[in-house]
């Protein structure tokens, strides 16, 4: 089996972060979301992975290389414009050949992995198998309807009046039968080649399409709130490890990971929390549920339930919560008035 991972989206809901980096490489618990995806794929026994990339191709190659550090072989496939998931399958045809494959969105986090679903697909080998989950509001998702024996009867992309609460999670298993389906369909209402239309075409042709319901954690990390929720979930499973220096005036309370070269001076860190390599925390209170990247400086700060990316500085800020601080950003105190340098699509909240 091969894998096809989709990482070509523009990430509009994550602006301004996605102006300067691909959304799939935004870190959660100090690791890019896409690395969790690759680790799940490798845990399912798949080594040959195609990665659909857009304008951030060079950044993906810089971070991921050839995939060898994951025990994988990465093949980069360029998509100049995001024209839909089924279009990605068309583009990847030469890479996929006649092999079975898993199609995996590069911005979703499934901590329990896909091993069980992959084993079921290999055992039963339908034309397609989709992972689904019950959601409160299915209108934002591709929705699956099942028949009385649990096989897929219909699929609809973002229906106004959903007839099911089972949403597609963004993990799909296919045999080579899908290639005829993506060749047969045309653009949907959004002008894209929808994978739901390809699956519906397969159902209409009588091809067996099965679904497996996932009842564990699952998150699409396409928004700031979703990233913070995912950060909390992943930090909740943290195993403590201290490779940095903690002075005698500091306290680490609960599970804390302190990277190599990190220093904690006269501070309290309440876990779960991760402090990246080379970061300085002084005269501060950090956590819980906070991840701080590499080479940051947190001085006189109180930061909780937040994500701080590499190289950022937070100084003399008495209470920062539910925040995402970008790479090499600086957050400091206001004087007699507030002074802001705010980029496109930024959201700023100022207490009265």
CATH number of the domain enclosing 51: 3.90.550.10
Residue 337 has pLDDT above 70, yes or no: no
Q: How far is CA 213 from the centre of its chain?
A: 20
Say what percent of the chain tops pLDDT 90: 69
Cβ atoms 110, 124 nearer than 8 A: no
| Mean pLDDT, residues 131-159 | 88
Residue 336 has pLDDT above 60, yes or no: no
Residue 352 has pLDDT above 70, yes or no: no
In a domain, 348, yes or no: no
> Are 82 and 207 within one domain?
yes
CATH number of the CATH domain containing 312: 2.160.10.10
Please state the pTM of the whole predicted model: 0.90
pLDDT digits (tens, 9 = 90+) for 197-226: 999 999 999 999 999 999 999 998 878 889
> Are 89 and 116 within one domain?
yes
């300085």: which residue's tokens?
Answer: 280
- CB atoms inside a 10 Å sphere around CB 20: 12
CA 25 to CA 324: how far, in whole Å?
14
């959660």: which residue's tokens?
Answer: 28
> Are 10 and 85 within one domain?
yes
> Are 75 and 172 within one domain?
yes
Q: What is the extent of the structural domain holding 296?
A: 238-331
In a domain, 339, yes or no: no
| pLDDT for the residue numbered 344 | 57
* Of the ranges 76-80, 275-279, 335-339, the best mean pLDDT one: 275-279
| Mean pLDDT, residues 254-267 | 97
Number of domains making up the chain: 2
| Mean pLDDT, residues 270-295 | 97
Instruction: Annotate 180-232 with DSSP letters as a single string.
Output: HHHHH----TTSS--HHHHHHHHHHTT--EEEEE--S--EE--SHHHHHHHHH
Which of 158, 192, 223 is the last residue before a domain boundary? 223
DSSP structural state of residue 44: T
């Amino acid at each position: 089996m091969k894998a096809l991972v989709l990482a070509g989206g523009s990430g509009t809901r994550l602006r301004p972060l996605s102006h300067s980096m691909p959304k799939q490489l935004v870190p959660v618990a100090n690791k890019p979301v896409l690395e969790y995806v690759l680790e799940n794929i490798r845990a399912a026994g798949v080594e040959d992975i195609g990665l659909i990339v857009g304008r951030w191709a060079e950044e993906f190659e810089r971070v991921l290389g050839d995939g060898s550090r994951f025990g994988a072989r990465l093949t980069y496939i360029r998509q100049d414009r995001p024209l839909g998931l089924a279009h990605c399958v068309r583009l990847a045809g030469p890479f996929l050949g006649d092999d079975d494959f898993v199609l995996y969105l590069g911005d979703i986090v499934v901590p329990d992995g896909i091993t069980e679903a992959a084993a079921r697909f290999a055992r039963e080998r339908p034309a397609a198998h989709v992972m689904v989950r019950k959601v409160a509001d299915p209108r934002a998702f591709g929705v699956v309807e099942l028949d009385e024996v649990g096989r897929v009867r219909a699929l609809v992309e973002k229906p106004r009046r959903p007839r099911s609460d089972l949403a597609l999670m963004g993990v799909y298993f296919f045999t080579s039968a899908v290639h005829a389906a993506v060749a047969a369909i045309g653009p949907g209402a959004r002008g894209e080649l929808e994978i739901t239309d390809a699956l519906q075409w397969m159902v209409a042709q009588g091809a067996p399409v099965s679904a497996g319901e996932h009842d564990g954690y699952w998150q699409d990390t396409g928004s700031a709130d979703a990233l913070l929720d995912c950060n909390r979930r992943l930090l909740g499973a943290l195993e403590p490890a201290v490779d940095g220096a903690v002075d005698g005036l500091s306290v680490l309370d609960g599970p804390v990971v302190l990277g190599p070269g990190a220093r904690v001076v006269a501070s309290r860190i309440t876990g779960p929390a991760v402090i990246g390599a080379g970061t300085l925390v002084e005269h501060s209170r950090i956590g819980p549920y906070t991840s701080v990247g590499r080479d940051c400086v947190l001085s006189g700060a109180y930061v909780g339930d937040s994500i701080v990316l590499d190289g950022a500085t937070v100084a003399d800020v008495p209470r920062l919560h539910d925040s995402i601080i970008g790479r090499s950003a600086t957050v400091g105190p206001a004087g007699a008035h507030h002074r802001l340098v705010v980029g496109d699509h930024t959201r700023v909240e100022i207490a009265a």
